Structure formats: structure tokens, C-alpha cells
Structure 1
Amino acid sequence: MTPTPEPTVTQIPWGQTPAGQPVTLYTLHSAGLQVRISTYGGVIVGVDAPDRRGELADITLGHDTLSPYLSRDTSPYFGALIGRYGNRIARGKFELDGQEYSLTCNNGANALHGGPHGFDQQLWHAEPSTSSAGASLSLSRVSEDGEEGYPGRLTVTVTYTLTPDHTLRIDYAAQTDRPTILNLTNHTYWNLGGGERDVLDHLLSVQADQYTPTDETQIPTGELADVTGTPFDLRQPTLLGDALAVPHEQFERAGGFDHNFVLNPSADEGVGVGLLEADGVGNLRVVATLQHPASGRRLSVSTTEPGIQVYSGNFLDGSIRGKGGQAYGHRWSVCLETQHFPDSPNQPHFPPTRLEPGQTYQSSTIYAFSVDNAE
């Protein structure tokens, strides 16, 4: 029996930032899987995973070179590390201890994904390593007080680990010197078929009894709506094409799925968002599964977070050409962004996103890859 190769990390130069700083592309190798990560934006550039015949394909959208990642016009957060605050904050404003803070708005009247110069547009310091746990890459940076309008000098470390049991684990950690808000996530666009067509033939399940409806600007209304009897009921594997074909006012507003699901807590956390721990972080548990019956690929998502944003590639229209020159058309991917809820600083009944000096922000998400061998 051929022994499984030890986990390794390799690296190559990958161009320069607009300021002339060198960018490196790292590749994590473990048990036949490969994950490519850029020091620019902490971007997951690619994930090579086998189908039921053992044939590898890249199951993420993105680009072959650095240059298109430098512009949101050609890279709408493809694979990006998102911060300081994933998702939207209404009018780019929030209060802490009676003081109002104004953020840079970059999504109409709202702030989105940390602003125009968020974490996805920053260069990160990288430290690769290998161990029995797998191949790892730790990325770190300091976000200075006032960056994009957020208070506090924030020290952030995000560690990607590709394990021998075919999982990609992302561990987030951060500390601040002033009270601030924080909501970190990853924005990978998944296409388990290898990115050659839309994802309407994918099956998706999300363990959520509720979701947060949004207004016309995609800010949560504050309601925790029951998914029962709606296309948001994904508690059983559901064909994305079938779900998106159901007429619904929320789909008319967002163009499809672009919504936060209120994840069911694990059994020992009770039921309902109000019973999560005081910091809004739960136990690591499986919360979503994406399947591609044609190839047999399956992706399971586990997280400590209370929410997950499901985005069905609504704004992809074929104008962006990605890997291998492929035009990324409508619904060419689905994003599964584990998170705290959008606009939480302005919604007191949502799980809190406040971080205090002396505290350590901690969050973990695991993407587990497997294959269904039954055709």
C-alpha cells in the first residue's frame, strides 16, 4: 500500500500590489487535495478536489493571475478574506458607548464587507507550517485605529489548515485596544462541477429554522422569519434550481439568495438565537451541505458562527472571464459565508459583534470535502 504523502506547503512569487509590494501564492498540499492562497486579500485562489472517478478539478471561481483580484470590477470578492465587518451595515453608521461612528459606504447607502479598502484589498504577512494536523498558512496584519472608519487598533490572525482527512479549516483570531465591532468571514464562490456551468444542478441544505428578511437595500428588517413553506426552507437537500424558481418577494429584492440564515444551535445550546452564548458564538457543528450529483463532490460546512449568508451568484452576468478564460454567467456559483448577522450593531436582538480590549475574538469554520460514489 502506497503511503500517503506528508502535508507540504509550497510557494511562488505572484506579482505585486499597486504599491509595488511583492505578493506570494502559497499552495497547501494534503492527502490529494490542494488549496492555493494569496497573501493579497487572503484570497483562496483555488481548491482542487477529486470527483467520484478521482479526477481533480478546481471547485472555486477566481482568476489565474493576481491582476484581476486588484479590482472589484473583475473580482467581486472571489475567495476573499472579509473584514472588518462581513456583510452590510445600514447607512455605514453604528454607535458604541454613545459615540456614533461613520464608515465608508460602498454599497449604495450602506457599508459592505469592510469598505472599499477592506481586508480583501490588503497585503497579509504569511507564516507557513506543517504538522500532523496538516499543511497550514497563518496570515496576519494590523488594522490601525480608524481604518475605513472602524475604531480600535486591531491585530488579526487567520489560519488556513488543509488536513489529511480532506478538510479546510479556517481559524480567525483578533484583539483590539479599544471597543470595536468585528465580523470576519471568507467569500469563496463554490462550484462543485468545476466552474463550467451554473450551480442550478447543485443540492443545498442549511440547518436553519429561520432567516433574516431584508428591505430594498438588503438590510435586515429585524425579523427572524420562519422558513417553513418558503423557498428558504433548505433543511432537506434542495435543488438550487427548484428553490430559485419559486416566486418570492425577497428574491425580487435580492435577485435570488443573498440572505442570512439563522443557524440552529447544537443540542446543548438549546433552540433559538437568544440561547447562544453571550458573545454570540456557538459550538462547532455541521450547518450546511452542498452536493453535486453529477460529479459526486460534496462540501459540508461546520462553524461556530450563528449565521451563514447564502449567495447564489445573482450579479454574475458573463462579463467577468475567470480561470481558463471561462465566462462566469448568472448563478455560476454559490457562496456559503459563515458569519454574525448583517447590521448587528444596529439590531440589539441580534448576536453581538462587539469586541473589548482584553478579549480575543475567536471563530472557526471547516469545509469538509468528500465524494458520493453512487452514480
Structure 2
Amino acid sequence: MNLKFKLVFILFIISSSAGIAQTKMTVIQEEVSLTIKGEKVDTWEGQDVFRYLLENGTIQVELTNFGGIITRILTPDKEGKLENIVLALEDVPDYFTKNGPYLGAAVGRYANRIGGASFTLDGETFQITKNNGENSLHGGAKGFGVKVWKPEIYKKQGAVGVKMVYTSVDGEEGFPGNLTTTLWMELTSNNELRLLFESTTDKKTVVNLTNHSYFNLNGINGDVRDHELQIFADAITPTGPGQIPTGEIKPVAGTPFDFQTPKNLGTQLDALGEGFDHNYVTKRENSSELKKIAIVKHPESGRVMSVYSTAPGVQLYTANHVRNFAGADGKTYQPHWALCLEPESWPDSPNKPSFPSANLAPGKKYVHEIVYRFGVEK
């Protein structure tokens, strides 16, 4: 499937004839080609699994309907060299059993942690799967990132993509309600990768969905300590045992958590003395505003990524626990070889009444939009 769009540039040329200024107009047309290709690569639990390749002439994005996983993003550096900038496994079937770190996955029903693996709705307590000590992480033992989604290729003006649908049945991993989620993943002609989650339920529940890509703008040729990071947030939600939020909102000013202005990531890691795995407060309450939440730069390659989201928070994770991990292209991933920026609701929101609510009721719709915009600075 090919979809081509024409960009029209108008060049005005001023000339003079017999002392009278005349304007000539020359129209120059340049084609920008958006293409999408899909192929079946395997089956999992009796369902077909596909690999998709989205291209716009500058950027290539590979993804799969297994787990809604982004398997590769290839972007050019300032010399035009195209390299993959996300941690990946060699081939799609590898994700069936080897994706412990959630590389590139769509995570849910609840991204991040729920303390004690339980929460209460309208007086009823729900015990969900414990898979992170006494807590629940990223939806439990078999969250959305290991499910086969029902896919459909689509095209529209300025974008090509894949629409995926998954229904999580009532009681799956302990969560109440039949939750139907639609995920649109599309590449645009202006170098944006746009993700849109929409969910509905037939019973009151909690929902918090995000993408868990691990970014390394140097083409995954070492760690990300030389990256520059800016996060548009003035506070974090500090955590206690099990990395469960205490309920506080703590200003970042004057601390190693402060990325309000661009900071070298290695310098901040040294100041912290450990890796980052913290929720940054990008909004104090839920809203539909698509807000720029972060900018990541790699000065040597010139690659730049801006991140936008409608969620009230973003988890910064610096791949602290990725160690001796066999990745794609014969590379072995180590701690701090990537950074995750996971836009989402705040961790443990179902147990923190003062946090923006992650509840979803029948007749309402959960909506979360994420945009990754890629560019180059020379």
C-alpha cells in the first residue's frame, strides 16, 4: 500500500519590464511518499501475528500487533545516516517469550505499579496479580504487552498506520469489567509517530495505558549518559518501599531530579547516585490538553526527539535493571543504555485519592494520546 502526498512550494520572482514591476510565479512540486507494508510472521495462541513497516521517506517504523510493540524506529543523524534508536529483539517471534523488560510494548491495564496489588472501587476490593514483590506492575503477569491485538491497516491524509483492538475480559489479572481498547499507531509526513489509546468498559474499573519504548538516540552504540534531557515538570511523586508513591508531591528544583532546563543525563545520574525510575508531574489534574512533556537530544549525532502527551505524568526510567541482555543486531544491552519516557497516570493512583483519578465508568471513554516528534540539529 502506497500513499503519496505532494508538497507545493511557490517561488515568487520579481522582474522589471519597461519600468513596471512584474511578478512571475513558478510552482515546484516535491513528492513525499508515505508507505505501509504488512506481513504475517507467525501465530501465537492461535492468532496471527504481523510485522508492519511504516515509512515516510525519512523515517522507518516497525511494529507488530503482538503486544502493540514498536520493534524499531530508524531515524537519520545530521549526516543522514539511518539507525535504529530503540532497544529491540532480533525478530518479532522473540518477543513471545523474551521480552521481560517490556521493550516497546503497549502496557496495561495499569501501567506502572499498584501497591499491595489491590484497590477498592465503590466499597468493593479487587485483588489483582502480584508480579513485582507484593505489588502489581504493568497490568500483571500477562498484561497488554503479551496479547495479540486485532489489527487493521489504514491511511489518511498525511499519515499511515495500524489500528489495533484488544478486549480484556472481566476478571483478567483480577481487574473488573470487560475493557475494550483501540490503539492507533501512525507515522505522519512531518516525522511524528502518533499513538492514541481509547478504552470503554461495562463495569467501573481502573485503566492507565502507555508505550514502553527504550530510546537511545546514538543508534544504540553505548549508554545514554551523553544525552541531553529536558522534562517540563516541576515536581515528582516520591516513593517508599517497593517504589510505591508516598502520596507526596515533591518539587524538583535544586535536586538531581530537576530537568526543567536541559541537563546532561550522565551528570544527573552521578548526582543521584543511582538510576532514575520516577514519575514526573506534568499536570496536576486530568485534561485533554496535548502537552509537550520532554525533549531528548544527542549532541554528537544531532538527533532530537520531542514527546507530547495528554496524561498527567511521565515515568523516567534509565534501564537500570537491563544487564547483559541479548538485543538485536548482536548487541548486548547494559544498564543506562536507554531511557524510557512513559507518559501515564501517576503510579498507585487507585489507592491515592489525592492523585488524578484513573477510574473509568461505563458510558465514559478513556483517551490517551502520545506523540513522538523526531528531528535533527546540525
**Cα distance in 2, alignment partners of residues 247 and 124 from structure 1:** 39
8 Å contact 2:191–2:373 — kept in the other structure? yes
Q: In the alignment, what sits opposite 1:52?
A: 78
Deviation at 1:357, TM superposition (A): 0.5
8 Å contact 1:31–1:166 — kept in the other structure? no
2:278 to 252, 259, 262: 259
Q: In the alignment, what sits opposite 2:309?
A: 303
Q: In the alignment, what sits opposite 2:51?
A: 25
Q: In the alignment, what sits opposite 2:264?
A: 239
- Confirm whether residue 82 of structure 1 aligns to residue 107 of structure 2: yes
**Cα distance in 1, alignment partners of residues 292 and 188 from structure 2:** 17
Aligned counterparts, 1:129-144, within 5 A: 129-144=154-169
1:149 to 163, 174, 182: 174
SS of 1:4's equivalent in the other structure is strand
**Cα distance in 1, alignment partners of residues 63 and 129 from structure 2:** 27
SS of 1:141's equivalent in the other structure is strand
**Cα distance in 2, alignment partners of residues 332 and 170 from structure 1:** 24
Q: How many residues get paired?
A: 351
8 Å contact 1:68–1:75 — kept in the other structure? no
Deviation at 1:321, TM superposition (A): 1.1
2:146 to 121, 130, 135: 121
Aligned counterparts, 1:166-315, within 5 A: 166-247=191-272, 251=274, 256-263=275-282, 265=283, 273=284, 276=285, 280-315=286-321
Distance 1:47 1:212, change over 3 A: same
Q: Which stretch of structure 1 is more off in the superposition, 91-100 or 21-30?
A: 21-30
- Confirm whether residue 332 of structure 1 aligns to residue 337 of structure 2: yes
8 Å contact 2:39–2:52 — kept in the other structure? yes
TM-score normalized with structure 2 length: 0.90
SS of 2:101's equivalent in the other structure is coil
8 Å contact 2:311–2:344 — kept in the other structure? yes
Deviation at 1:30, TM superposition (A): 1.6
Q: What is the Cα-based RMSD across aligned positions, in Å?
A: 1.3
1:367 to 352, 365, 372: 372
Deviation at 1:4, TM superposition (A): 3.0
Q: In the alignment, what sits opposite 2:361?
A: 356
8 Å contact 2:106–2:211 — kept in the other structure? yes
Q: In the alignment, what sits opposite 1:13?
A: 40
8 Å contact 2:201–2:362 — kept in the other structure? yes
Q: In the alignment, what sits opposite 2:21?
A: none
Matched AA of 1:11:
G
1:69 to 86, 95, 105: 95
**Cα distance in 1, alignment partners of residues 309 and 130 from structure 2:** 29
Deviation at 1:141, TM superposition (A): 1.2
- Confirm whether residue 345 of structure 1 aligns to residue 370 of structure 2: no
Deviation at 1:326, TM superposition (A): 0.2
8 Å contact 1:7–1:130 — kept in the other structure? no
Deviation at 1:2, TM superposition (A): 7.4
Deviation at 1:216, TM superposition (A): 2.5
Matched AA of 2:184:
T
Report the identity percentage.
40
- Between structure 1 and structure 2, the one with the greater Rg is 2
Matched AA of 2:270:
A
**Cα distance in 2, alignment partners of residues 76 and 247 from structure 1:** 23
1:210-265 per-position Cα deviation (integer Å, ceiling 9, x unaligned): 001111210011110010111100011111100000146xx4xxxx10000001x4
1:52-78 per-position Cα deviation (integer Å, ceiling 9, x unaligned): 111110100011212331235x54100
Q: In the alignment, what sits opposite 2:326?
A: 321
8 Å contact 2:231–2:260 — kept in the other structure? yes
SS of 1:41's equivalent in the other structure is coil
Deviation at 1:20, TM superposition (A): 4.1
**Cα distance in 1, alignment partners of residues 301 and 278 from structure 2:** 27
SS of 1:190's equivalent in the other structure is coil
SS of 2:279's equivalent in the other structure is strand
SS of 1:208's equivalent in the other structure is coil
8 Å contact 2:159–2:186 — kept in the other structure? yes
Q: Which stretch of structure 1 is more off in the superposition, 321-330 or 1-10?
A: 1-10
Q: In the alignment, what sits opposite 1:93?
A: 118
SS of 2:160's equivalent in the other structure is strand
Q: Which stretch of structure 1 is more off in the superposition, 200-209 or 6-15?
A: 6-15
8 Å contact 1:14–1:65 — kept in the other structure? no
Q: More strand by proportion, 1 or 2?
A: 2
**Cα distance in 2, alignment partners of residues 305 and 331 from structure 1:** 25
**Cα distance in 2, alignment partners of residues 156 and 107 from structure 1:** 24
Structure 1 unpaired stretches of 5+:
266-272
SS of 1:37's equivalent in the other structure is strand
Deviation at 1:3, TM superposition (A): 2.9
Matched AA of 1:288:
A
SS of 1:148's equivalent in the other structure is helix
